[in-house]
Amino acid sequence: MNKGILVYAEVTSDCYLHTVVFELSNKALELSAKLDNAPVMALLLIKPDLINEYKEAFQKSGFDKVFYVVDERFSKYTTDLFATAAIQAIEQINPEIMLIGATCQGRDLAPRISTALHTGLTADCTGLDIDEKGKFAATRPTFGGQLMATILSKNSPQMATVRPKVFKPSPMDVVRDTAFIKLSVNLTNFVSRTEILELSKKIVNEINTLDSAEIIVAGGRGMKNSEGFGLIKQLADKLGGTIAASRVAVEMGLAPQEIQIGQTGKTVSPKLYIACGISGALQHTIGMNCSKKIIAINTDKDAPIFGICDYGMIGDAFEIIPKLIKML
């Protein structure tokens, strides 16, 4: 057993290391400190001649070892090829803990790896820690978000997936003398059952800007109708931000599902999150409580959102937002 923490280093379709890799490395360093400085490692599946492109990023984000596998076919993600290669690599690395970003790729890959390795997988974690017995403790919402469950795995690697933006990214100042180790896996006779013919991006402005937005103005049931969401949009435009919604607002047809924040939507961590007419149910707040500053506008002074916000305005959003727009 390598006793280390292995992070799956996802490469995006445009050949960048996914930002979630650095969020997981930051958390892995924290866990490593509680495990007698167990090595923080990465698994990278890349096409030939690319390793040098990534070296500096791994060194600066605190990785002790990077295990990489090279194959021409890794230029495009396919489930069976990546899973076959990853499983063989992990068997050689034999880590104690494995962390994977809950991206489209990670969500596809992680259960295949855990099934093949006969180990447990805790998906969509919101917290990771080492308990008093030195066991990896993965926390995630359960029972429809009514409870937070901390799950331990009997087998190893103890696996967890974490959505992007749940943890803070590495400040890129933990410089290590990273070892880059090339692994061989047997893909000689591998024939993929699938072929990617085309990748197309859904072009909707708010959806594409939400991930990187520094300011988000979100509306809930309290914004009532399209006029209310029009106000949200005007405020977001004034601030140079973008809009988002609670699940109820999506269900009311006021916003598309792609901009829903929360347990069954997206996780965001902007500099400023303005929650308008949103009560602050746990299923919503776990998608936005890492925002740097939260402002809530709500008529109900006892709304749970006031328990997590930095600034609260008690009052009718239909009166407050036009005033804010005017002031801005």
In contact, 240 and 260? CB cutoff 8 Å: no
CA 147 to mean position of chain CA atoms:
20
Please list every residue from 245 through 304 that binds ligand FAD, using CB under 6 A: 246-249, 260-265, 277-279, 281, 283-284, 287, 297-300, 303
In contact, 9 and 98? CB cutoff 8 Å: no
Nearest distance, CB of residue 231 and ligand FAD, angstroms: 10
Nearest distance, CB of residue 104 and ligand FAD, angstroms: 17
Residue 144 found at the interface with ligand FAD (CB under 6 A): yes
Site track for ligand FAD across 202-241, x = CB under 6 A = ------------------xxx-------------------
In contact, 284 and 264? CB cutoff 8 Å: no
Indicate the burial class of 244 (C-beta count within 10 angstroms; 0-12, 13-18, 19 or more).
Answer: buried
Nearest CB to ligand FAD, comparing residues 13 and 146? 146
Among 316, 322, 323, 328, binds ligand FAD (CB under 6 A): 316
The radius of gyration of the chain's CA atoms, rounded to the nearest angstrom, is 21
Nearest distance, CB of residue 305 and ligand FAD, angstroms: 7
In contact, 148 and 251? CB cutoff 8 Å: no
Nearest CB to ligand FAD, comparing residues 79 and 299? 299
Nearest CB to ligand FAD, comparing residues 61 and 260? 260
Nearest CB to ligand FAD, comparing residues 84 and 298? 298
| 27/243 Cα distance (integer angstroms) | 29
Site track for ligand FAD across 76-115, x = CB under 6 A = ----------------------------------------
Among 102, 216, 317, 324, binds ligand FAD (CB under 6 A): 317
Site for ligand FAD, rule CB under 6 A: 144-145, 220-222, 246-249, 260-265, 277-279, 281, 283-284, 287, 297-300, 303, 316-318
